[in-house]
Amino acid sequence: MKNENLLLQKEIITNLFEKYRILDEYNERIFWKRENILQNNSVRVFTEEIRYVQNKYNILNNQMLYLYLFIPYLSKENNLLVDEEGKPMNQQNIAERLMIDRKTISRNIKILEENKCLIKIKNIKQYNYIINPYLMVGSSSICKGVFKMFKSIGYKENSISFSQIFEEDNIDNLIALDGTKCDSKIECKIHNYLLLLSDNIKIEIIKSERYSDFIDNKLLNEISGTMKNDWSLIFNNKKYIIEYFGLMNDTEYVKRHNKKTEIIKLDGKEEYFIPIYENDLYELDKKFDFINIEIDKII
């Protein structure tokens, strides 16, 4: 019976991966899209953080796999496990949907709860469950209070993740973690990411410089005029230009975008140019992976 349950679990997980995995395999970061509960939204799974928790608390693979089984039932507002109608689920509801016996579900939920992967909350006469948002989130609009809930029980995150970048209260005021005033919430989030990156690696972040401080060709330098970038990043004695292009549906904005990218290309600085578009916001690690590559070369 135990082997049959294990085979069933593996089959369910395999089906989930095939049905909901849409992108991307880079850094083993997995994005999930669910058709029934969260239309037009994505569940974001932070696999590096999950591995950290698993290693820290010595959680077995088959126990940790239950976290992935919960993905289709994750609500976007508060990471609560809900049914197809959006109603919070208890252990019996979960067991029925996963087609796994109640005792097995109960045992594994207890393990995940003890190791801060989820919290159970009492709702009248039953218990419901909230999944740790540092491990996965139902959407980018998740309530900030859920992060604070897990911090209150002593959870300490390990990696630079979605939660660290997006949960700061000051983002609403366009003020980054270091007090820098930003022009938009997205810009503030990217700035916070760069600050968190600099906590782990020796880099220098400069907010907004003229292209003329970066471009070598005199004619291109003149053409760039007073044009500024969003950030400069200095690492390993090399300067990189970072731009966030967030209004690519605006004709005039696209013209300025094209001018900047063309100047960079003609000056031969493409290697040191880091353009960030809307689709890049949840995979910033990919944009800055060159830092790890450079460190490997130095070592």
Q: What CATH number has the domain bearing residue 30? A: 1.10.10.10
**147 plus 8 within the same structural domain:** yes
**135 plus 213 within the same structural domain:** no
Does any domain span residue 163?
A: no
b (16+ CB within 10 A) / e for 132-158: bbbbbbbbeebeeebbebbeeeebebe
**123 plus 24 within the same structural domain:** yes
**110 plus 207 within the same structural domain:** no
- Assess whether pLDDT exceeds 50 at residue 151: yes
Does any domain span residue 8?
A: yes
**146 plus 173 within the same structural domain:** no
Does any domain span residue 160?
A: no
Does any domain span residue 37?
A: yes
**91 plus 194 within the same structural domain:** no
Helix 102-114 and helix 91-98: axis angle, to 10°?
120
pLDDT level of residue 6 (50, 70, 90 thresholds): low
Domain end among 104, 125, 152: 152
pLDDT at residue 261, rounded to an integer:
94
Task: Give 28-56 pLDDT, tens digit per residue.
Answer: 333 333 333 333 346 777 777 888 898 88
**203 plus 285 within the same structural domain:** yes
- Tell me the average pLDDT of the chain: 78
pLDDT level of residue 111 (50, 70, 90 thresholds): very high
Does any domain span residue 60?
A: yes
pLDDT at residue 165, rounded to an integer:
53
Task: Give 165-218 pLDDT, tens digit per residue.
Answer: 555 445 556 777 777 888 888 888 888 888 877 665 678 888 889 998 889 998
**40 plus 118 within the same structural domain:** yes
Q: Which residue has the higher pLDDT, 167 or 61?
A: 61
Does any domain span residue 260?
A: yes
Return the closest-CA partner of residue 247 out of 172, 180, 181, 187.
Answer: 187
- Assess whether pLDDT exceeds 70 at residue 161: no
Task: Give 235-280 pLDDT, tens digit per residue.
Answer: 888 899 999 998 888 888 899 999 999 999 999 999 999 999 988 8
Query: Which residue has tokens 């796999």?
Result: 65
**69 plus 185 within the same structural domain:** no
Look up the CATH number of the domain holding residue 258. Answer: 3.40.1350
Domain end among 103, 121, 152: 152
**197 plus 232 within the same structural domain:** yes
Does any domain span residue 31?
A: yes
Query: Which residue has tokens 């969260």?
Result: 38
Domain end among 152, 178, 202: 152
Mean pLDDT of 75-104: 91
Domain range for 285: 168-298
Q: Which distant-in-sequence residues (6+ apart) come within 8 Å of 259 by Cβ?
A: 227
Number of structural domains (the chain) is 2
**148 plus 65 within the same structural domain:** yes
**125 plus 217 within the same structural domain:** no
